[in-house]
Chain A
Amino acid sequence: MEIFLQQCVNALQWGSFYALIALGYTLVYGVLRLINFAHGDIFMVGAYLAFYISTAFLAPEGLFGFSRGLTLALTIPLTMIFTSLVGVTLERIAYRPLMRKGAHRLYVVITALMCGLVLENGNLALLGASRKTLPALLDKSVYDVGGIAVTNLKLWVIFAAVLVFFALHFVVTKTRMGMAMRAVSWNKFALPLMGIPLDSVIVFTFVLGSGIAGLGGMLFAMSYPVLEPYMGAMTGWKAFIAAVVGGIGDIRGAFVGGFLLAFVEVMVAAFLPSTFRDLFAFSILLLILWQRPTGIFGRPLISKI
C-alpha cells in the first residue's frame, strides 16, 4: 500500500509537467485550431532561460549576487515573461504571415514543427552540446509521511500545476479576454465585425500558453537539473498526446489528460517490467481514444475551450 501511494505521488509530480505543457497545446488549438508543435521546445527554452536568469542573479558568481530566495522570486516571473516573448515571436514571424496569406492549416502545423527544430538546433549551435545544470534555488528537504517520501520541491510542482489550472480556468470562463478567446474559437470571421481585435486575442493566447510552458520548464529544470537542447522534444510529444486523450481544445481535458498519462506510465512501470512501460502506456491510451475518438472531455466540433 505504501508503495502504491508513493507511486501516486510520483505520478502526481510527473503528471504536473505533462499538464503544464498540455495546457499550452490545448489553448492554442482551442483558439486557432492550430497544433503548435514547437510548444515542447518553447518549454525547453523556458528551462534554459531559467538557467541563464538564475545564474545571472545568484551569488557568488552572478552579476548581482542576490540570495537564493530573491533569485527564485525574480526568476519565476522573468522566465515566464521571456518565454512568452519567444512564443509570441514565433507566432509573429512564422504563423501569422502564413495564416494571413490564407495558407491551409496543415502548412502552419508543418511550420510549427520546423520552428521546433530551429529552436532545438539553434540552441545546440549557439550554446554547444554540453549539459547545463540549474543551481539549487531551494533548500531541498525530504519529508517522510507514513513511509512515503516527499520533497518540498515536489509539493511545489504539484501545487503550481493545480494553481495554474484554476487560474487559467478563471481567465477563460470569467474574464472579457477569456470570452474573446472563446469567441475566436466559435467564429474567427465574425469576430472583427463585432469590434474585437483578433490579433490581440491571438497574441494573448500565445502569451498565456508560452508563459505556462516557461513556468513548467523552470520547475522541470529544478526537479531534473540536467538541461539539454532536446529535452523538450519527447516530453512535449507525450504532453501533446495527453492533451489529445483529454480532448484537445478543452483545458480540463489537458489537465486530466496530463495526470492520466503520468499515472498510466508510472503504474505500468511500477507493476509490470519497466521495459514495457511506453508500450503498455500508449496501448492503454490508444484504447481510450478508440472508445472516445475526441478524447475524454472532447465534443465533436462544437465550441472548444
Chain B
Amino acid sequence: MSKCVCAFALACMSTLFMSGGVLAGQTIKIGFPIPLTGEIPKVGESTKFAAELFREEVNAKGGLDVGGKKYPLEFIFEDNESKPETAVNVTLKLIDRDDVLAIVGPQSSRQAVPVGAVANENETPMITPWSTNPDATKDRPWVFRAAFLDPFQASVAADFAAKEFKARKVAVLFEISNDYSKGLADNFRDAWEERHGKDSVVAFESHGPKDQDFSAQLTKMIAAKPDFIFLPENYSFAALIVPQARDLGYKGFFMGSDAWGSAELMKLCGDACKGQFFSTHYYAAAGAKGATREFIDKYNKKYGYVPDDVAALTWDAVALVSGAIQKAGRLENSTRKMRGLIRENLASVKDFKGITGDMHFDSQGDPVKCAVIVVIDDKGDFTFRESVCPK
C-alpha cells in the first residue's frame, strides 16, 4: 500500500516538473540565487524586494513585450545561505531543473566568484548586481556585473581619503575568507602604497568569518597610529568593529566600502558609525532625480524604507536582462539558443540608462560607470559627498 502511495506521489511530482518544462515557452524565467539567510540577510531581502517590484510592474502591463507578444515574467528565488557551496548547488538547480533563461545574482563576491564559473560552464548568462571582485567575470564571456570593480573602488577610496583626512598612514582590517573583502583590501593596499610609498600601510590585519571580537587586531592597528582605518567589510562586521575600536580609544576616521551601504547598518551600529565615510554605487539620499527618484519612491511606498544600493543594482540587472530579451525580438523554443541570444545582446549593450547611472560593458563584462562617496550624517542618513567617474 505504502509503495503505491509513493509511486503515485512520484508520478504526480514528475508531471509537475514536466509541466514546468512545457510552460517555459510561455513565461520568461529568471533565477535568483541570493542570500536570504546567513551572514547578510538584508542583502537577500533587498534583492527580492527590488526584483518583485520590477516583476509586478511588468506583469501588471500583461508581461514583457518581446517582438509584439507579451510574456509574463517568472522569478525563482533560491536561498544561497550566504555560503559558496550552497550558492553553487542552487544555481545548478536553477539552470538544470528550472530551465531559467538567465541568472541574476549572487550578490556577494564570495558566492559570485564560484557561481560565475558554474554559469559560464553551463552557458547561461548571469549578471551579478553587487559583486565587485574582478574574478567573478574575468575570462567568463557568459558572466556580467552591474557594479563597478574593486580596483576602481580602491583607487576612489584611496584618493578620497588622502584628500579628506590629509592622511598618509592607513591601517586595514578585512575578512580573510571573503573574496570581496580580501580582494578589495589587497587592491586598496596596492593603490595606497603606489601613492604614498612602501611603509604607508602601517597595519594589514584580517579576521575569520564567524569572529565577533576584534580587539586583538584593533589594538595592534591602533598602536601603529594610523591616520584612518580602512574597513572593506560587510555591514554586520562594520557594526561590530567600529564601536570596538572606539572602546579601545581610537578617535580617528573610518573609511568603508560599498558593503556598508545596507539599510541595516545604522540599526546595528548606532551612533558610533555617524560621521564615517564609504564608497558606494548610487545616491539614495535627497536630491536623486528622474528614474532614480521614481524607483526610490516606489520602493519606499511599498516596503517602508529607502532602498539600498543592492536594491538599485538588482533593478538595473533585471532591466539589463529584460532589455536583452526584448532586443532578441522573439522567444526561442530552445532554452540553449535563447540563452545565447541574451548573452550576445548583453555584451553589445550601449549606453544603458540605469538608476545607478549610465553604463556599458567592457570586453570582460564589467560596467564602465561612476562611484559615489557617501558620509553618514548626524541623523544616520547616507548623504552624498562626491561622485568619481573613471578617467
Interface residues of A in 67-125 (CB under 8 A from B): 124
Which of B205, B206, B240, B247 contacts A226, CB < 8 Å?
A: B240
Q: Verify A3–B220 contact, CB threshold 8 A.
A: yes
- B213 contacts which chain A residues (CB < 8 A)? 10, 13-14, 224
Q: B17-44 toward A: CB 8 Å interface, digit per residue (1/0)? A: 0000000000000000000111001101
Q: Verify A266–B215 contact, CB threshold 8 A.
A: yes
Q: For residue B36, give the distance in angstroms from its CB to the closest CB of chain A.
A: 7
Check if B176 is an interface residue, CB within 8 A of chain A.
yes
* Stretch touching chain B among A22-30, A48-56, A174-182, A274-282: A274-282
- A187 contacts which chain B residues (CB < 8 A)? none
Which of B38, B216, B240 contacts A224, CB < 8 Å?
A: B240
CA distance A140 to B291 in the complex (A): 44
Which residue of the partner chain B has the closest CB to A278? B208
Check if A196 is an interface residue, CB within 8 A of chain B.
no
CA distance A138 to B328 in the complex (A): 61
Q: Verify B219–A3 contact, CB threshold 8 A.
A: yes
- A228 contacts which chain B residues (CB < 8 A)? 236
Check if B212 is an interface residue, CB within 8 A of chain A.
yes
Q: Verify A270–B220 contact, CB threshold 8 A.
A: yes
Interface residues of A in 10-44 (CB under 8 A from B): 10-11, 13-14
- B36 contacts which chain A residues (CB < 8 A)? 129
Q: B30-66 toward A: CB 8 Å interface, digit per residue (1/0)? A: 0000001110011011000000000000000000000
Q: Verify B220–A140 contact, CB threshold 8 A.
A: no
Given contact pairs A129-B36, A149-B248, A274 touches B216 in the complex (Cβ within 8 A): yes
Check if B249 is an interface residue, CB within 8 A of chain A.
yes
Q: Verify A265–B216 contact, CB threshold 8 A.
A: yes
Q: For residue A18, give the distance in angstroms from its CB to the closest CB of chain B.
A: 10
Number of A residues with CB within 8 Å of any CB on chain B: 41
Given contact pairs A142-B249, A224-B240, A274-B207, A133 touches B212 in the complex (Cβ within 8 A): no
Which residue of the partner chain B has the closest CB to A237? B210
Q: For residue B82, give the distance in angstroms from its CB to the closest CB of chain A.
A: 9
Interface of chain A, main secondary structure:
helix
Interface residues of A in 274-302 (CB under 8 A from B): 274-275, 277-278
Which residue of the partner chain B has the closest CB to A271? B220
Q: Verify B212–A10 contact, CB threshold 8 A.
A: no
Q: For residue B371, give the distance in angstroms from its CB to the closest CB of chain A.
A: 27
Which of A14, A131, A133 contacts B215, CB < 8 Å?
A: A14
Q: Verify A149–B249 contact, CB threshold 8 A.
A: yes
Given contact pairs A6-B248, A128-B41, A270-B219, A235 touches B267 in the complex (Cβ within 8 A): no
Check if B16 is an interface residue, CB within 8 A of chain A.
no
Which residue of the partner chain A has the closest CB to B245? A149
Q: Verify B219–A235 contact, CB threshold 8 A.
A: no
| Residue of B41, B206, B217, B219 with most partner-chain A CB within 10 A | B219
CA distance A225 to B264 in the complex (A): 13
Check if A190 is an interface residue, CB within 8 A of chain B.
no
CA distance A124 to B215 in the complex (A): 28
Q: Verify A130–B42 contact, CB threshold 8 A.
A: yes
Check if B268 is an interface residue, CB within 8 A of chain A.
yes
- A154 contacts which chain B residues (CB < 8 A)? 247
Q: Verify A270–B247 contact, CB threshold 8 A.
A: no
CA distance A226 to B214 in the complex (A): 14
Interface residues of B in 224-243 (CB under 8 A from A): 236, 239-240, 243
Given contact pairs A13-B215, A149-B248, A131 touches B220 in the complex (Cβ within 8 A): no
CA distance A131 to B266 in the complex (A): 12
CA distance A220 to B213 in the complex (A): 10
Which residue of the partner chain A has the closest CB to B220? A270
Which residue of the partner chain B has the closest CB to A153? B247
Q: Verify A266–B216 contact, CB threshold 8 A.
A: yes
Check if A59 is an interface residue, CB within 8 A of chain B.
no
- A233 contacts which chain B residues (CB < 8 A)? 210
Check if A200 is an interface residue, CB within 8 A of chain B.
no
Check if A303 is an interface residue, CB within 8 A of chain B.
no
Q: Verify B205–A131 contact, CB threshold 8 A.
A: no
Check if A151 is an interface residue, CB within 8 A of chain B.
yes
Check if A144 is an interface residue, CB within 8 A of chain B.
yes
Which of B37, B176, B205, B219 contacts A129, CB < 8 Å?
A: B37
Q: Verify B212–A235 contact, CB threshold 8 A.
A: yes
Check if A163 is an interface residue, CB within 8 A of chain B.
no
- A172 contacts which chain B residues (CB < 8 A)? none
Check if B195 is an interface residue, CB within 8 A of chain A.
no
Q: For residue B45, give the distance in angstroms from its CB to the closest CB of chain A.
A: 8
Q: Verify B219–A7 contact, CB threshold 8 A.
A: yes
Check if B6 is an interface residue, CB within 8 A of chain A.
no
Q: Verify B264–A130 contact, CB threshold 8 A.
A: yes
CA distance A266 to B207 in the complex (A): 12
Given contact pairs A129-B41, A131-B268, A226-B240, A149 touches B247 in the complex (Cβ within 8 A): yes
Q: Verify B37–A140 contact, CB threshold 8 A.
A: no
Q: Verify B240–A142 contact, CB threshold 8 A.
A: no
- A151 contacts which chain B residues (CB < 8 A)? 247
- A2 contacts which chain B residues (CB < 8 A)? 223
5 closest residue pairs by CB, A with B: A129-B41, A149-B249, A269-B216, A10-B215, A129-B37
- Can you give 25 A-B contacts (C-beta < 8 A)? A2-B223, A3-B223, A10-B215, A10-B216, A10-B219, A11-B216, A14-B215, A129-B37, A129-B44, A130-B264, A131-B264, A133-B267, A133-B268, A142-B246, A144-B249, A149-B247, A149-B249, A226-B236, A226-B239, A230-B210, A233-B210, A235-B212, A269-B220, A274-B217, A275-B176
| Extra contacts besides A10-B215, A14-B215, A274-B205 (20): CB < 8 Å | A2-B223, A6-B248, A10-B219, A13-B215, A128-B41, A130-B41, A130-B45, A130-B264, A133-B239, A142-B249, A144-B249, A149-B247, A149-B249, A154-B247, A226-B236, A265-B216, A270-B216, A275-B176, A277-B216, A278-B208
**B positions within 8 Å CB-CB of A:** 36-38, 41-42, 44-45, 176, 205-208, 210, 212-213, 215-217, 219-220, 223, 236, 239-240, 243, 246-249, 264, 267-268, 270
